[in-house]
Amino acid sequence: MEQTLTLLVLDLVGCFVFALSGGLMAVRKELDIFGVIVLACVTGLGGGFLRDMAIGATPVAALSDWRYLVVPMTAGLLTFYFHPALGRLGPMINVFDALGLGLFVIAGAVKALDFGLSPLAAAVMGLATGVGGGAIRDVLAGQVPVILRRSVFYAIPAFAGAAIVAFGLFLALPQSLVMAVAFVVCVGWRLLAMWRHWEAPLPRGSASV
């Protein structure tokens, strides 16, 4: 019961935070209120939707529990009506996005383990939960997904956090300690990468092939 409640809280808080970032991108793209809500929902729910489909957790949580729809829709409406104030919080939105990433990779890995996946597969599902919604958001917004452009910012810390949770819980280490370490590693790495402007290596020479 405790783990189920923990998973629900992680999912919903992460969903709300990610939905805010999706709504802000929609506002920047000058979408109408429907577009803002759609992009907020896609960003907040996309990763969890992909995870649940992949592990066979159907009907997916986003469709079977009304809270999963209300949370991102609320975030979208808040973004639509209060985007000037939220826009001025640019650096804070990046922090919220990092926090959402940390929450989602933990929730994704925990749920995958609950469904009997191996630690490595659970880590991959944690990664998918963390980055899936953002990737779909970027595609719908007409840009290259950030995971493909700034993997040091997103994919690597997400996988590291998910792997810590998956292997830590598989080894029966204390759940609270494992989750705390995974959260600090994922969020801390993401924020440090943004602060230090770390970039993954790019191909050398001409781009023409």
Q: DSSP letter at 37?
A: H
pLDDT at 191 > cutoff 50: yes
- Enumerate the domain spans of the chain: 2-195
User: DSSP assignment, residue 32?
Assistant: -
User: 82 Cβ partners below 8 Å, 6+ apart?
Assistant: none
pLDDT score recorded for residue 90 = 64
Model pLDDT, residue 1: 46
Instruction: Write down the H helix ranges in the chain.
Output: 2-28, 33-55, 61-64, 67-87, 90-114, 119-140, 146-149, 155-170, 175-196
Positive or negative CA dihedral for 62, 66, 67, 73?
A: positive
For 67-112, the pLDDT digits (tens) are: 999 999 999 999 999 888 776 766 666 777 788 889 889 989 999 9
pLDDT tens column, 154-166: 888 999 999 999 9
Instruction: Quote the CA–CA distance of 12 and 117 in Å, as a whole number.
Output: 23
Mean pLDDT of 5-30: 85
For residue 198, count other CB atoms closer than 10 A to its CB.
Answer: 14
Q: Strand, helix or coil at 199?
A: coil
Which residue in this structure is represented by tokens 């997904």? 145
pTM: 0.85
Which residues lie below 8 Å from residue 58, measured CB to CB, with a gap of 6+?
A: 52
C-alpha 45: how far from chain center: 9
